Chain A
Amino acid sequence: QSVLTQPPSVSAAPGQKVTISCSGSSSNIGNNYVSWYQQLPGTAPKLLIYENNKRPSGIPDRFSGSKSGTSATLGITGLQTGDEADYYCGTWDSSLSAGRVFGGGTKLTVL
């Protein structure tokens, strides 16, 4: 059972938009920045979004992030087949020895 809650799967057609939610609590999302990672099949996770809504160099602006209260959302527009991957949210947790916490992951299928 992950500390952060994500939907197991989402799907959309190429060219469409999709959002992935990430729900937490005041000890994690509520008081810390949220990050998002993309994990293509058989590869290591890759940082997509940090500090709620910032994109590292090289990440297209089709990817966006937002946070409100104890929840965060990843948005992907102009979906491409190459976006099929698992997506994870992550943040720090301020509770005793919790450290870094991740969501359970969301499998994106581009139909």
Chain B
Amino acid sequence: EVQLVESGGGLVKPGGSLRLSCAASGFTFSSYSMNWVRQAPGKGLEWVSSISSSSSYIYYADSVKGRFTISRDNAKNSLYLQMNSLRAEDTAVYYCARLQYDFDYWGQGTLVTVSS
């Protein structure tokens, strides 16, 4: 069974940093591109970042470019999102999602709250 479990969310002050993790199981993690998608409270979905299976290709939404860094460790079946210079508008539930023909599996999400 495919499972994606996010962790690392929490309360952080504006300008602070946080590192999210996504632990994958039930599939060959190293064969799939992975993504982060976020959802602000009461709002819609916003794609954040994408990383290819071997980390050769990395993409970011303009809203996070230069502040967030996506990475992965295929040996540990894990995906990461390093978030720096956090702003109030980064407050959201962050989901990791596997990309096969589409975002076919999603984690349960981890809440990031940026507030003083």
Instruction: Assess whether B50 is in contact with A100, with CB atoms less than 8 Å apart.
Output: yes
**Chain B interface: which of A18-26, A76-84, A101-109?**
A101-109
Query: B106: nearest residue on chain A (CB-CB)?
Result: A44
Which residue of B35, B45, B101, B106 has the most chain A CB atoms within 10 A of its CB atom? B45
Q: Does B73 contact A (CB under 8 A)?
A: no
The CA-CA distance from A102 to B104 in the complex, in Å, is 15
* A35 and B44 contact, CB distance less than 8 A: no
Contact B50 A2, beta carbon cutoff 8 Å: no
Query: What does the 1/0 interface line of A85-104 toward B look like (CB < 8 Å)?
Result: 00010100000010111111
Q: Does A50 contact B (CB under 8 A)?
A: yes
Contact (Cβ within 8 A) A103 B103: no
* Chain A residue at smallest Cβ distance from B103: A47
Query: Cβ of A45 and Cβ of B106 under 8 Å apart?
Result: yes
Question: Which single member of A50, A51, A54, A99 contacts B47 (CB below 8 Å)?
Answer: A99
Question: 7 extra interchain contacts, Cβ-Cβ under 8 A, other than A37-B103, A54-B101, A97-B65?
Answer: A44-B95, A44-B107, A45-B95, A47-B102, A51-B101, A99-B50, A102-B45
Q: B residues near A, CB below 8 A?
A: 35, 37, 44-47, 50, 59-62, 65, 95, 101-109
Contact residues of A with B, CB < 8 Å? 2, 33, 35, 37, 43-47, 50-51, 54, 56, 88, 90, 97, 99-105
A-B CB contact pairs (8 Å), 19 listed: A35-B103, A44-B107, A45-B95, A45-B106, A46-B106, A54-B101, A88-B45, A90-B102, A90-B103, A97-B61, A97-B62, A99-B47, A99-B61, A100-B35, A100-B37, A102-B44, A102-B45, A105-B44, A105-B45
